[in-house]
Amino acid sequence: MADSVMQYQAADGGWPKNTDLGVRPPSAESRAAAGADVTWSTIDNNGTTMPMQFLALVTHATGEARYRASFLRGFDYLLAAQYPNGGWPQFFPLRPGYYTHVTFNDNAMVNVLTVLRDAATGSAPYSFVDEARRTKARAAVSRGIDIILKTQVKQDGKLTAWCAQHDEKTLAPAWARAYEPPSLSGSESVGIVRFLMEIERPAPAIVAAIEGAAGWLRSVAIPGLRLETFTGADGRSDRRVVPDPAAGLLWARFYELGTNRPIFLGRDSVVRPALSEIEYERRNGYAYYGQWPASLLDTDFPRWREKHSR
């Protein structure tokens, strides 16, 4: 499987997304595409970071030089892809469009920071990473944390959350796909907070960022609604929210900047107030509601706060 994963690695050191890397080796055609297509390598949808984590485990277990070399090529790719301001684009080499934004979407940047942070320690399974790369990784993580703090949105002077993507130059919340507007994220913000909470000795600015985001997430929780799948009159499976006083809290994927109102967009990019008002395909093909912050707020944040209040 590791040999198969390696064969999907592009010449620049990265890997593609949405590809089963381990079932069978790629064809000659797909290997050629990986070498020629500059849009191949990405950190989106666990691209690059997941194969690197796997190869680190295999390297640690076997000591095989070829797996180490493949991992380190990926490592160097991640370092090269970082913007000077500390962010990472979704694709590198850069691909025109929203892909150049600093990408928190689907935990892309948090995944990168996690790999680099863990490798920088030199602990298993990353003990084979040389000190020069560890030093570079520590600096990259520091810059990454800095841009996380800079992109956290303030409303009425209070720290809130993050957009799924921020403009790589202005750092303002930015559009991605037609149904992914500049907004505050009830999903991606959770991954960012979890990453910040793992910092052993957080600076006051990091503590403030965590406290602000947790407070905002708690304030925008939606009670009394349950997301369910049902069979519509046309016989198709569909999604809807229904009143349910006993339901657990829900969060929206997108909250309107300034108002914190849950918003829903289909492929026409029109902002609507309800899930039922967007088209069937998006309503059933995208996570507009979820319980992403539930365990964070109920368990992890209180433990973190207790630890750092001592």
Question: pTM of the predicted model, to two decimals?
Answer: 0.95
58 has pLDDT over 90? yes
What span, in angstroms and rounded, lies between the C-alpha atoms of 185 and 198? 20
* Tokens read off for 244: 């349910």
What does the pLDDT read at residue 26?
A: 67
- Concatenate the DSSP letters of all residues of 187-212 into one string: SHHHHHHHHHHT-SS--HHHHHHHHH
Q: What is the pLDDT of residues 177-202, one digit of tens each?
A: 999 999 999 999 999 999 999 999 99
What span, in angstroms and rounded, lies between the C-alpha atoms of 149 and 192? 10
290 has pLDDT over 90? yes
Q: Which of 177, 226, 240, 282 is catalytic?
A: 177
Question: Peptide bond preceding 125: is omega within 30 degrees of 0, i.e. cis?
Answer: yes
What does the pLDDT read at residue 40?
A: 85
259 has pLDDT over 60? yes
CB atoms within 10 A of CB 301: 22
What span, in angstroms and rounded, lies between the C-alpha atoms of 267 and 247? 29
What does the pLDDT read at residue 309?
A: 79
Percent of the chain past pLDDT 70, that is, above it, reads: 95
Q: Is 265 helix (H, G, I), strand (E, B) or coil?
A: strand
Matching fold, domains 1-151 and 153-310: yes
Nearest to 151 by CA among 134, 131, 168: 168
Q: What is the pLDDT of residues 208-245, one digit of tens each?
A: 999 999 999 999 999 999 999 999 999 999 999 999 99
Residue labelled with tokens 């069979």: 231
Amino acid sitting at position 42:
T
What does the pLDDT read at residue 35?
A: 52
Provide the pLDDT confidence category of residue 31 given band limits of 50, 70 and 90: low
Nearest to 291 by CA among 228, 222, 224: 222
What span, in angstroms and rounded, lies between the C-alpha atoms of 303 and 306? 5
What does the pLDDT read at residue 33?
A: 58
222 - beta bridge partners?
Answer: 250
Q: What is the pLDDT of residues 60-84, one digit of tens each?
A: 999 999 999 999 999 999 999 999 9
Q: Output the CA–CA distances (angstroms, integers) from residue 219 to 98, 254, 296, in the order listed.
A: 30, 14, 14
- When the pLDDT of each residue in the chain is averaged and rounded to a whole number, the result is 95
Q: Output the CA–CA distances (angstroms, integers) from residue 135 to 52, 117, 289, in the order listed.
A: 18, 10, 40
Provide the pLDDT confidence category of residue 25 given band limits of 50, 70 and 90: low
* Average pLDDT, integer, range 258-262: 98
What does the pLDDT read at residue 202?
A: 97
Q: Phi/psi class of residue 159: alpha, beta or left (left: φ > 0; alpha: ψ in -120 to 50)?
A: beta
Domain 1-151 has CATH 1.50.10.20: yes
39 has pLDDT over 60? no
What span, in angstroms and rounded, lies between the C-alpha atoms of 221 and 294? 9
What does the pLDDT read at residue 38?
A: 47
Question: What's the start-to-end Cα distance of the chain, in Å?
Answer: 46
Break the chain into its structural domains and give their ranges: 1-151, 153-310
Amino acid sitting at position 235:
G
Catalytic residue status for 18: no
10 has pLDDT over 90? yes
| DSSP-H helix ranges across the chain | 2-7, 28-36, 49-62, 65-81, 108-121, 131-151, 188-197, 204-219, 280-285, 294-295, 301-308
Do 112 and 49 meet the contact criterion of CB atoms below 8 Å apart?
Answer: yes
Q: Which residue has the higher pLDDT, 309 or 100?
A: 100
Q: What is the pLDDT of residues 85-133, one digit of tens each?
A: 999 999 999 999 999 999 999 999 999 999 999 999 999 999 999 999 9
Catalytic residue status for 45: yes
Domain 153-310 has CATH 3.60.130.10: no
